[in-house]
Structure 1
Amino acid sequence: MRGTLPSYYNKWGTGDVSGISFDTTGIIEVCISDRAFKRMRNLRFLRIYKSRVDGNDDKVHIPNEMEFPRSLRLLHWEAYPSKSLPSRFYPEYLVELDMKYSKLEKLWDGIQPIANLKKMDLHGSVDLKELPDLSKATNLETLELSICKSLVELPPSFSNLHKLKNLGMSYCINLEVIPTKNIKIFDISETSVKDVPTSVTLWSQLEFFNVHGNEQLKTLPQLPLNITFLCLSNTAFESISCCLKGLRKLAELRLYGCRKLTLLPELPRSLRYLLAQDCESLETIFCSLDTENAHLDFTNCFKLDQQARRAIIEQQSFGYGSSCLPGSKLPTEFEHRAIGNKLTFPLSAFSSFKICLVICLHQQNEEWCDDPRVLCRRVRKGYLYPVEDLACGISRSQTKHLFIFHSDSFDEYIWLEVSKEITFKFNSKYQDFDIFECGVQILTDRTYGSNTEAYGDEEIDNNITTDDDEDDY
């Protein structure tokens, strides 16, 4: 199917048009006249895009001397077909320039008056070799350069971008030089950057810091205190020297695939998610994990020493998070226990407790589950009552792991019942793993701060009951 811009403005255009939105989905070839925008003096919004992927490789033909109207505020042209913008390009009033997946090798020559420009998106422009002088883009807030694989460095004019907050450079695999800016989002994942500027310490607005997959980066400078998200996954770090404990707003730390990492420093109490899967060299965790309500995933961290295992297991005595770590036996503090996935334990006057399950993915799984989840249900008078639905890690492991979670939300009215015991049943929500053992630790005031002697792989026989005589609801 061939297509053109609608006939009433394709040849000569019209001064009445203020916006064009042209969906090229299903159109194989698009031809645009060199006079298409000639008389559109009031055209402020131009958007050429695909609403869905239809398998067609668009062929858009534009003339070499095409001229965009001077009044444009928004230019959004996906897969722009030329190597540069027209020589007669007037971006004086442009607020947003969106050229995703373009064939651009450069934008323009010289310095343009782009003081109104707030957003520039060149995502996926794999042929882009250079950026223009942006010294006049004093109001630029967002610059998206992800997957610009031919880009090697950013221009010195970046020093003038005082309002830049969001800078995306992930998968710029040849990028080696980065600017020193005070920004909010900093993403250099899958790049070849070897050093982060020491000035990052002064980037007081920085919240999101991502260096995923950067194997050239060996050290980090001290990070600013406002960081909330830090991703160091699939990097070559052997240790993390920056003071993480001082990052009082850090909520998520991603370390998965850091196969050389041997030591984890002290963490801030603000942490909610720690993803450390496949840190196969990790042995030591500094001090105790005083991270209330955190979700900790240490799947496939088989070298954790006894102190590290103790820290991971004990930290859940303080909050409502969860932990996953290698292990085939219940720790000793889970005094009420059962073989299988159903557990009965006595009711008593307590405020909360924590659960430990020994779980393992099905060996016959051909595909890994992206979101394995545990269902916890209460068994009462032949019925199952939903209690918890929790993500449990182990999405990339076929060895036994301990999954531990803390809760006091198991139906506030059960403690008023006459019954002296209660039964819970645990299952895999998507039938992708087995549960071999389950145990409960009842928490009292004395539990917090208490120490135990065995953590995870010691054979225990006392108080174990099987569910052979129970009905399988």
Structure 2
Amino acid sequence: MTQGRSNSSMVLQELLLEQRDAFGPGSRILVTSRDQQVLNQEVDATYEVKALNHMDALQLFKTKAFKKTCPTIDHIHLLGRMVTYTKGNPLALVVLGSALCDKSKEDWYSASNGLGQIQNVEILNVLRVSFDGLNTEQRSIFLHIACFFKGINRLHFTRILENKCPAVHYYISVLIDKSLVLASDNILGMHDLLQEMAYSIVHEESEDPGERSRLFDPEDIYKVLKENKGTKRVKGICLDMSKSRKMSLKTDSFAGMNCLEFLIFYNPSYFEVEKNRVHLPHSGLEYLSNELRYFHWDGFPSKSLPQDFSAENLVQFDFSESKVEKLWSGKQNLLNLKAINLSSSRCLTELPDLSKAINLEYINLSGCESLKRVPSSFQHLEKLKCLDLTDCHNLITLPRRIDSKCLEQLFITGCSNVRNCPETYADIGYLDLSGTSVEKVPLSIKLRQISLIGCKNITKFPVISENIRVLLLDRTAIEEVPSSIEFLTNLVSLHMFDCKRLSKLPSSICKLKFLENFYLSGCSKLETFPEIKRPMKSLRTLYLGRTAIKKLPSSIRHQKSLIFLELDGASIKELPELPPSLCILSARDCESLETISSSTLSQSIRLNLANCFRFDQNAIMEDMQLKIQSGNIGDMFQILSPGSEIPHWFFNRSWGSSVAIQLPSDCHKLKAIAFCLIVHHTVPLNDLLQEDKAINIKWQCHAKRNNCEQDDIIFRTECEMYNFQDSKMHDSDHMLLWHENWKEDSFSKYSDKEITFEFYPKAKAKSFDRNTSEMELREIEKHCKVKSGGVYLLFDENPHLFSISDEDLSDQEDDYYSLYSSSSSAEDSGDEIDHENDDSKSGKTSPATSFFSHRKGYLLLLCFLTFAYFFLSWTSQFCFAPQFIPPPPT
């Protein structure tokens, strides 16, 4: 324990124990400390001071930099850069702001350009107090993290140092307690100012970079290596090759650094065109320090390591995308070695003898395309946890057995020449044999998850451990699922995508009480799904697309946990009653589908019926009208189906992508919003969309501000319209109908005002895809057009129950359909629809004016017609504010 900590503890103990009675009842005593351990005694609660958010940081900085004055235009655009640099650190904000108070514009620009290069002495001196209170090993670990390992996983860092410094885990905790190091999600980090302090401490060691303990500046490293100025004082080198000049090293560039422990040449940029800017002679290096513990060199350019190199102290080496053909010859004492990464080393033909690497845990050989044989010494690696041989396309020979009982993951993915899987008695978490030629899985393997995707030699359902939880059998040649599947009682996910020979499922499959996800899409010979005699209480997702199933079992309505049902491209004709839990039903490209159960429309559900051209839309629209206007519908409802007309009961409608509405005086009673859009595509979507891309419909509502050109945005939102690759949805109109119960008070201040709803398509990548550019997404959007739209507002309690006569409704619909028929010519000529001029020229009273002048009579007529047609008393539960669209100008 340091003297500083002892003194702090003694003062705190005296204050809170011996003198606690000196404070009056209700007193609150605040104690601040850089050391969390000091606060772990005799305090009631501990609060960790967080970094200030941007707005608070900006306010604090302005208070110190300008005092009572206001920032000028010259200062404003520099403020954000200053505040961002401090990352919310109050000390840095106060010191930097005070330093710039009353300074000239030139001083501000100079300070801004020097951020991160010119260390502020006052800040660093305050921060260094905590560092000076550390012991020698703690200081060394702090500098290692700051200079080499910021951003590394804490467990990995501990693994690298624990053989030399057994207390490394504890020392990291000390650094965290003193707020010198952060560990968010087990990732080690620190504030940039603390890292600058660490750099400053290293620079103080010597003016000559070759005499410093740690090298991290690209220019310093260039100078030391090019001029062979490295000495035994250098313990570590960390070079960001993306920031380095090109350099060709000599065979003896590392000759003087015989105490080197960390050698890190990395390239952080995935898109870097020239990944390796450091080149070696054809003969490679003659010398490397035998003290090396961590050796990381992306794209290592030599065929092998130096002949005399001893890997005795080596804990981990990473040679991703290297030119290595063979690491070394003969046996080495590899007692400390725990991890090897030679991924994508395409020239690697031979692995060294690793029989003495008894502590080896991780081996990554993925993408080593020239490797044909894994040595038998792998069999004796008793602590091996993960072996990755993914895409070793020429690999033929594997050890017959792997004795490690610690083995958790084994990847042989894409090794098409491998016919046999090694036996092991470990309880493997994940075994991936996808794309191999294996015919069966060894019975000795206890599995929790296995992938046999694309194993065309698998013709029978595998006999595997009853502990299996995830079973991936996509694109295998399996013809039948045995009735014994019911004994896989722990099975959670069963994937059988595109099993083209599968023709039958046993009824016992419905006894899997823990099955959550069942994927059968693409099983084109599968004609029936078994009746579910007892509810599968855990089943949440069911994929039956592109199968020959024509009818779903009626018992599906009892699957109360089912939330997603996929039937895309299936031969199904009608959908029975579905469970009320269902949230998403995708039945696109079901060309035979005609009807769905009306009960489905009362749920909160998203229906995708794209390209279901036989589907009876009229019947469902009548049902939708009743349910929406009566409020007898789920919180959120969405349906996409073929259609080219907005339903007549959407009185607020218009051609194009925006709809304007005059709100009533009591719009705070808004209960629900529905909109209906007609969307058109000019290009087949499979030419534009892929599985990781989607088209969404974004919409926003805005109102004019008084005496202001800019509108008030009342709200923005979006709904996913579709996300698929092989849809035929093009050159035809589709209707998107969306309804949501409205729980916000967004409209209350816009009573009696006009608001506008705008709708527009938005393409986006569902996940990271470096091949997708913003330009490509915008190109997708160009081919999706909102032709027309309608909005319906439902209010709670209806003191303003509006009505409309059949004659007026007929006139309105005639106007609307004439607008459709003439829209193309009007749109092409760029003409605008002028509501007022149309009315004045014709001399007619607008339908809306006539509507309101005869309100009482029309109300009685509407009540009578409603009773006669629907036999339901629902007129007292809704209102709408009609807005009629006149025909386009002639």
What is the aligned partner in structure 2 of residue 369 from structure 1? 690
Residue 28 of structure 1 and its aligned partner are, at CA, apart by 7.5
Maintained 8 Å contact 2:295/2:316: yes
Alignment of 1:78-227 (within 5 A): 78-179=298-399, 180-181=401-402, 182=404, 183-191=407-415, 192-197=417-422, 199-200=423-424, 202-204=425-427, 206-214=428-436, 216-222=437-443, 224-227=445-448
- Partners of 2:350 and 2:631 lie apart in 1 by 69
Residue 29 of structure 1 and its aligned partner are, at CA, apart by 3.9
Residue 320 of structure 1 and its aligned partner are, at CA, apart by 4.0
Identify if the C-alpha distance between structure 1 residues 9 and 372 changes in structure 2 by more than 3 Å, giving closer, same or farther. Answer: closer
Deviates more, 1:311-320 or 1:73-82: 311-320
What is the aligned partner in structure 2 of residue 34 from structure 1? 251
What is the aligned partner in structure 1 of residue 518 from structure 2? 296
Give the alignment partner of residue 240 of structure 1, picking from 447, 454, 461.
Answer: 461
What is the aligned partner in structure 2 of residue 330 from structure 1? 574
Identify if the C-alpha distance between structure 1 residues 306 and 390 changes in structure 2 by more than 3 Å, giving closer, same or farther. Answer: farther
Give the alignment partner of residue 54 of structure 1, picking from 237, 262, 272.
Answer: 272
Identify if the C-alpha distance between structure 1 residues 384 and 212 changes in structure 2 by more than 3 Å, giving closer, same or farther. Answer: farther
The structure whose RCO (Cα within 8 Å, separation 6+) is larger is 1
- Greater CA radius of gyration, 1 or 2? 2
- Partners of 2:347 and 2:461 lie apart in 1 by 35
What is the aligned partner in structure 1 of residue 474 from structure 2? 256
Residue 285 of structure 1 and its aligned partner are, at CA, apart by 2.3
State whether structure 2 residue 223 is matched by structure 1 residue 7.
Answer: yes
Alignment of 1:393-472 (within 5 A): 395-396=725-726
Higher helix share: 2
Deviates more, 1:49-58 or 1:159-168: 49-58
1:420-467: CA deviations, max 9, x gaps? xxxxxxxx996999xxxxxxxxxxxxxxxxxxxxxxxxxxxxxxxxxx
Identify if the C-alpha distance between structure 1 residues 384 and 22 changes in structure 2 by more than 3 Å, giving closer, same or farther. Answer: closer
SS at match of 2:450: strand
Identify if the C-alpha distance between structure 1 residues 172 and 315 changes in structure 2 by more than 3 Å, giving closer, same or farther. Answer: farther
Maintained 8 Å contact 1:28/1:57: no
- Partners of 1:156 and 1:293 lie apart in 2 by 39
Maintained 8 Å contact 2:285/2:305: no
SS at match of 1:172: coil
Identity, in percent, stands at 24
Residue 397 of structure 1 and its aligned partner are, at CA, apart by 6.4
1:154-200: CA deviations, max 9, x gaps? 11111220000100001001112223223111100110210113x33
Maintained 8 Å contact 1:3/1:29: no
What is the aligned partner in structure 1 of residue 242 from structure 2? 25
Deviates more, 1:105-114 or 1:282-291: 282-291
Deviates more, 1:68-77 or 1:320-329: 320-329
What is the aligned partner in structure 2 of residue 314 from structure 1? 556
Identify if the C-alpha distance between structure 1 residues 312 and 33 changes in structure 2 by more than 3 Å, giving closer, same or farther. Answer: farther
Maintained 8 Å contact 1:100/1:124: yes
Aligned residues: CA RMSD: 4.5
SS at match of 1:8: helix
Identify if the C-alpha distance between structure 1 residues 302 and 48 changes in structure 2 by more than 3 Å, giving closer, same or farther. Answer: same
- Partners of 1:65 and 1:143 lie apart in 2 by 24
Amino acid corresponding to residue 188 of structure 1 in structure 2: I
Maintained 8 Å contact 1:13/1:37: yes
Amino acid corresponding to residue 7 of structure 1 in structure 2: K
Deviates more, 1:93-102 or 1:5-14: 5-14
SS at match of 1:25: helix
SS at match of 2:326: coil
TM-score (normalised: structure 1): 0.70
Identify if the C-alpha distance between structure 1 residues 195 and 226 changes in structure 2 by more than 3 Å, giving closer, same or farther. Answer: closer
Residue 102 of structure 1 and its aligned partner are, at CA, apart by 1.0
Identify if the C-alpha distance between structure 1 residues 140 and 57 changes in structure 2 by more than 3 Å, giving closer, same or farther. Answer: closer
What is the aligned partner in structure 1 of residue 294 from structure 2? 74
Identify if the C-alpha distance between structure 1 residues 390 and 18 changes in structure 2 by more than 3 Å, giving closer, same or farther. Answer: farther
Residue 89 of structure 1 and its aligned partner are, at CA, apart by 0.9
SS at match of 2:526: coil
Residue 5 of structure 1 and its aligned partner are, at CA, apart by 3.9
State whether structure 2 residue 500 is matched by structure 1 residue 280.
Answer: yes
Amino acid corresponding to residue 319 of structure 2 in structure 1: M
- Partners of 2:262 and 2:295 lie apart in 1 by 6
Identify if the C-alpha distance between structure 1 residues 389 and 225 changes in structure 2 by more than 3 Å, giving closer, same or farther. Answer: farther
What is the aligned partner in structure 1 of residue 180 from structure 2? none
- Partners of 1:43 and 1:133 lie apart in 2 by 25
Maintained 8 Å contact 1:372/1:391: no
SS at match of 1:7: helix
- Partners of 2:438 and 2:336 lie apart in 1 by 35
- Partners of 2:497 and 2:426 lie apart in 1 by 30
Higher strand share: 1
SS at match of 2:529: helix
Maintained 8 Å contact 1:296/1:322: no
SS at match of 1:253: strand
Identify if the C-alpha distance between structure 1 residues 50 and 125 changes in structure 2 by more than 3 Å, giving closer, same or farther. Answer: same
Maintained 8 Å contact 1:291/1:315: no
1:15-66: CA deviations, max 9, x gaps? 2222111122266842123332222233111111222133226461245452
TM-score (normalised: structure 2): 0.39
What is the aligned partner in structure 2 of residue 43 from structure 1? 260
- Partners of 1:78 and 1:312 lie apart in 2 by 59
Identify if the C-alpha distance between structure 1 residues 388 and 261 changes in structure 2 by more than 3 Å, giving closer, same or farther. Answer: farther
Maintained 8 Å contact 2:317/2:340: yes
Maintained 8 Å contact 2:426/2:446: no
